[in-house]
Amino acid sequence: MEFLLASASPRRKEILQNLGIGFRTIPAPEIDEEIYLNNSLISPEDTALQLAEKKSLALKLTDFELALTADTVVAIDNLTLGKPKTDNEASQFLQKLSGEKHRVITAIALKKGSEKPRLSYESTDVFFKPMSDDEINWYISTGEPFGKAGGYAIQGLGSIFITSINGCYFNVVGLPITLLMKMLTKYEINFRDLIHSGGGHI
């Protein structure tokens, strides 16, 4: 079986590479995330799960392929934040996070061949220090908030605004490894079998 990462996220790719996991990257299906992010009737957890599932269902796999899709969202004050697209949106996101606790939810979908995807998610609490307008404007000027759920990167410059976290660090980056290990056992795959597996073949 071949392990596939269906994601454009360089952070998810880097996490797997740093663990020495063999995999092949394939394009992530295009999904209109705004439909889900702007729906107040859907919880942040369900939003992440539905987005990961939609991506997974759009994949055409052989019976010898196991694909991972994922989606990360940030939740605060009953709002679900995706990735900011403009300076103004990034500023709004960071103002909401400033001095507050928020949740980062990453949902994972694993799909083998034409089987129904298996879904699960991880949630981590993240605490931000109060941010001044100057700090917010400076951070936005670095360009780092864009392409990141909630408008920050815990593994980058965004770390200077974080006072503490409660839960999985890798979940905030975009791929909760412990959850992935647990989900792989459903396919009778030992996580260690993926380490240095040539080309992602298990």
Long-range contacts of residues 132-141, Cβ cutoff 8 Å, at least 24 apart? 135/161, 136/91, 136/94, 136/95, 136/98, 137/91, 139/94, 140/87, 140/90, 140/91, 140/94
Q: What is the model's pLDDT at position 198?
A: 55
Q: Which residues are catalytic?
A: 71
Give the pLDDT of residue 195.
Answer: 76
Which CATH code of 3.40.50.150, 3.40.50.10420, 3.30.559.10, 3.90.950.10 fits the domain covering 2-200? 3.90.950.10
pLDDT value at residue 36: 74
Domain ranges for the chain: 2-200
- pLDDT on residue 202: 58
Note the pLDDT of residue 93: 97
pTM value?
A: 0.91
Dump pLDDT digits (tens) for 133-178.
999 999 999 999 999 999 999 999 999 999 999 999 999 999 999 9
Report CA Rg, the chain: 17
Whole-number pLDDT of residue 201: 62
